[in-house]
Amino acid sequence: MNNKIIFLRHAETKKDESIPVSRWILTKDGKRKSQILMDTGIFNDVDIIIASKEIKTYQTVLPLAKKLNKKIIRIRELGEINRDKGKVISKEEYDKLKVRIFEDLDLSVEGWETSRHALQRFEKAINRINGQYNNKKIIIASHGTVMTLFFASKAKQMSQLIKRWKSLKFLDYGIIKNNQVLKDIND
């Protein structure tokens, strides 16, 4: 407990309609910008580096792990809303579905996990991490939808989900300590 947790959205992804979204990787520019961000030194004092099981989050914090000579802990429950059971969809369809799942947290479209379930799964994983460590600075590389849900919930702005999600950029980050938002992902 009493950990400071930095939630970092992954860098820009290469959209590939021929494979499931969860297998998308970073673009060359995404890798470059991740490296630039890590080179700034703002995360040099982290004790623990965690990423979801999706490759794009791992690739995002890999430059930091190499720089600090730390391993990356991979946790499946920190992943994006599960969207692999449905068919592979275009970017336009993907964006339309995002709006729908923010409007109705219990909606499951194309076999996707509901937003409500994704938020509960994510919160449970964060609580487990918080209970596992004490007075640590932890960086967690994760995803836009679950981070939007999580921070909107903390800020009591669930009615602003679409607006919050649309303003979230790649590599945006937020900070939480003692269950309080110190820096919102939309700041």
Calpha distance 53→68 (Å, rounded) = 20
**Pair 77, 122: CB distance under 8 Å:** yes
Per-residue pLDDT at 1 exceeds 70: no
Mean pLDDT of 45-50: 98
**DSSP-derived 3-state class of residue 23:** helix
Q: Between 18 and 99, whose confidence is greater?
A: 99
Contacts of 40 (CB under 8 A, 6+ apart): none
Per-residue pLDDT at 86 exceeds 90: no
Q: In what order do the strands lie in the sheet with 137-142?
A: 72-74, 48-51, 137-142, 4-9, 173-177, 180-183
CATH superfamily, region 4-183: Phosphoglycerate mutase-like (3.40.50.1240)
**DSSP-derived 3-state class of residue 137:** strand
Per-residue pLDDT at 121 exceeds 70: yes
Any idea where the domains of the chain sit in the sequence?
4-183
Which token pair is 154?
Answer: 């903390």
Locus of tokens 């391993």: 71
